Each structure stands twice: as structure tokens, then as C-alpha cells.
């Protein structure tokens, strides 16, 4: 007679008609479960929650990620649910067991040299109109730490219906951020110069009415976030960066580089428009990574063989 595990795998393959790849993953999960049970000298039908918790701790100590453990537990939970429906167990030992919380990944940020390389890049082959527009977008994203939605919402000047606008004489951008919260961020001299070049060529000779949006496409309509992602990806590769850059990466770089220079966490929070300081604190980890790399590279006692 087939074992309960074999019968369960036949059930998901034939009756539930799960994909072959999914069945293969379930098989690996059950093999792992059987291995743990054999070492603990316990039958699969006699496994308790205490066993599961111990095995979760062992997997975590061995370096398996919280997400990976969660997927394994999901497979085990489905197996014991099926056993319960078959009347083979009275309770599911996996039901109340949760995987360790997955560590929050650090946002990706460019190095200062990479950010400057992208900001300074100028394409001689590109359409001058597109080149002026894309250069201004990069300067604002990196120089002011804007979200891509805040960038698309900017108008060329203040207006009654404007979500956000640029005030070049004051070197300020007024943006509408998350939660409909307004904030004012500084515009650096490099961004000011790039915006001035863009505004000189912004309104092409076309048959559409003047558009309030600061950044527009060739058809005169407000540029979308997706279009900005595509243009920035293309521009970063043309600039010679190893990996494509997206708008939020420039925002991360803005925050990280500010903290490296000033250590003013509260000020960076205000500039980014974070409601909570804990959201901004992730950049202190980025800053520590920067310091740790500098230490490893420069300190004579950093790497003792």
C-alpha cells in the first residue's frame, strides 16, 4: 500500500491537477519533512507542533530565508490538512507555526560616482528635445529625492489646479506626496540649469494647446510613470552603468548620500516626506554599509589573515 505522502502527491497531481513543477516542489517539501521525522525517530502521522517549531529553528539556523521556510511550511500545512480530511490525524501540527520574519531588503542605491556619472551623461546622438527633458528628470529625481509620481505631477508653474510645481527663482519644488501631503524640497543649481535648458525647448511647434505639465511627451500630454521608468532605464545603460536604474533607486541614492554627508536623519525624513522616522532609518543601514566598506578598504586591522 502506498504511504500517506505518496497518496497525497498522487492527489495533488491527479485530482487537483497541479502543475508538474508544483508537484515536484511538494515532493521536495515532503522529503524534507520525512528526513526531519526520521532523525527525530517519529512517524509522520505522529508529528507535533513542537517538532515543527524545532525543525523551523534548524532550517533558520542553517541559513534558509524566512520566505523559503514559509513556502516549506505551506507545503507541510497542505499535507496535514489532507491527512485530517482522510481521518489519519486529529489536528494539523503546522497550523499555528509561522516562519521567521524575512529581513527587509535594503533599497538599492548607486554609489556617488555612479550617480554623478548618470547625472553628467549627455548623449550627442539623442534628439536634443528628449535629451534636455531626460537630463532634467534625472537631476530632479537624484537632486531632490522625488518619487516618480511626484515628478509626473509637477506643473511648469503654480496654478489653482496644480498638484505640484517648480519655482525656479526660489530654487524650490512644491510636490504632492503620499497621503496627499504637500511638501517643499530644494532644487539644486545643477537641476536648475537642466530645467532652464528643458523649459527653453519644452513647447514644440505642434497643433495641441499648451500643456501645464512640466514633463511631457512628443504628443504634448503629461509623461507617465511608466514612460519615465523606460527612459531612465535606457539612459542609465547608455551612460555605461552596469545595471539599469529606476526612479526609486535615485531617490534611495539621494537619501543615502545625504546621510553619508550630514547624518541628519530628521532632515532627510522631511525631504523625503516620510510620515515616520522608522521609514527613513533604513538609510542608516545603507550608510553603515558605506562606512564598513571604507573601513575594510582603508584600516590596516580590518582584515587580519
Boundaries of CATH 1.10.443.10 in the chain? 112-296
What is the C-alpha to C-alpha distance for residues 70 and 58, in angstroms, rounded to an integer? Answer: 14
Boundaries of CATH 1.10.150 in the chain? 4-85
CATH of 112-296, one of 3.40.190.10, 1.10.443.10, 1.10.3720.10, 3.40.50.300: 1.10.443.10
Q: Which three cell numbers stand for residue 242?
A: 552596469
In words, the CATH class of domain 4-85 is mainly alpha
Active site residue 104: no
- Helix or strand run (H / E) with residue 248: helix 247-262
Look-up of cell digits 525631504 = 271
Of 104, 58, 79, 109, the residue nearest 10 (C-alpha): 79
In order along its 305 residues, the chain shows pLDDT tens digits of 578 999 999 998 998 888 888 999 999 999 999 999 999 999 999 999 999 999 999 999 898 888 899 999 999 999 999 999 999 999 999 999 998 886 666 567 888 899 999 999 998 888 999 999 999 999 999 988 898 999 999 998 887 677 889 999 988 889 888 878 888 888 888 999 999 999 999 876 444 555 788 999 988 889 999 999 999 999 999 999 988 999 988 988 888 877 766 656 566 666 776 666 565 556 655 554 554 554 456 545 455 54
Which residue of the set 246, 251, 252, 257 is catalytic? 251
Active site residue 251: yes
Which residue of the set 51, 133, 147, 246 is catalytic? 147
Query: Phi and psi for 95 in degrees, rounded to 5?
Result: -55, -50
Active site residue 11: no
Which residue of the set 7, 53, 248, 290 is catalytic? 248
Secondary structure (3-state) at 150: helix
164-167 and 172-176: which strand pairing?
Answer: antiparallel
Active site residue 51: no
Of 53, 60, 234, 58, the residue nearest 131 (C-alpha): 234
Amino acid at each position: 500500500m502506498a504511504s500517506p505522502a505518496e497518496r497525497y502527491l498522487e492527489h495533488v497531481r491527479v485530482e487537483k491537477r497541479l502543475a508538474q513543477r508544483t508537484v515536484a516542489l511538494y515532493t521536495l517539501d515532503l522529503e524534507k519533512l520525512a528526513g526531519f521525522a526520521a532523525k527525530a525517530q517519529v512517524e509522520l502521522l505522529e508529528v507535533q507542533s513542537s517538532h515543527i517549531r524545532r525543525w523551523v529553528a534548524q532550517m533558520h539556523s542553517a541559513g534558509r530565508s524566512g520566505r523559503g521556510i514559509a513556502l516549506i511550511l505551506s507545503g507541510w500545512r497542505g499535507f496535514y490538512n489532507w491527512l485530517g480530511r482522510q481521518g489519519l490525524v486529529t489536528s494539523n501540527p503546522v497550523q499555528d507555526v509561522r516562519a521567521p520574519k524575512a529581513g527587509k531588503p535594503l533599497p538599492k542605491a548607486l554609489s556617488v560616482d555612479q550617480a554623478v556619472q548618470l547625472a553628467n551623461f549627455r548623449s550627442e546622438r539623442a534628439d536634443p528635445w528628449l535629451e534636455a527633458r531626460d537630463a532634467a528628470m534625472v537631476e530632479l529625481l537624484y537632486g531632490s529625492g522625488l518619487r516618480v509620481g511626484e515628478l509626473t505631477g509637477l506643473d511648469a508653474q503654480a496654478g489653482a489646479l496644480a498638484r505640484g510645481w517648480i519655482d525656479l527663482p526660489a530654487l524650490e519644488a512644491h510636490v504632492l506626496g503620499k497621503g496627499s501631503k504637500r511638501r517643499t524640497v530644494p532644487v539644486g543649481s545643477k537641476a536648475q540649469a537642466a530645467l532652464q535648458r528643458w523649459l527653453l525647448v519644452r513647447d514644440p511647434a505642434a497643433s495641441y494647446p499648451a500643456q501645464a505639465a512640466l514633463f511631457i511627451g512628443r504628443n504634448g500630454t503629461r509623461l507617465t510613470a511608466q514612460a519615465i521608468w523606460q527612459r531612465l532605464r535606457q539612459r542609465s545603460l547608455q551612460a555605461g552603468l552596469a545595471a539599469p536604474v529606476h526612479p526609486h533607486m535615485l531617490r534611495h541614492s539621494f537619501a543615502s548620500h545625504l546621510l553619508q554627508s550630514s547624518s541628519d536623519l530628521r532632515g532627510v525624513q522631511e525631504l523625503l516626506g516620510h510620515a515616520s522616522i522608522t521609514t527613513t532609518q533604513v538609510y542608516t543601514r545603507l550608510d553603515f554599509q558605506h562606512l564598513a566598506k571604507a573601513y575594510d578598504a582603508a584600516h590596516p586591522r580590518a582584515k587580519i589573515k
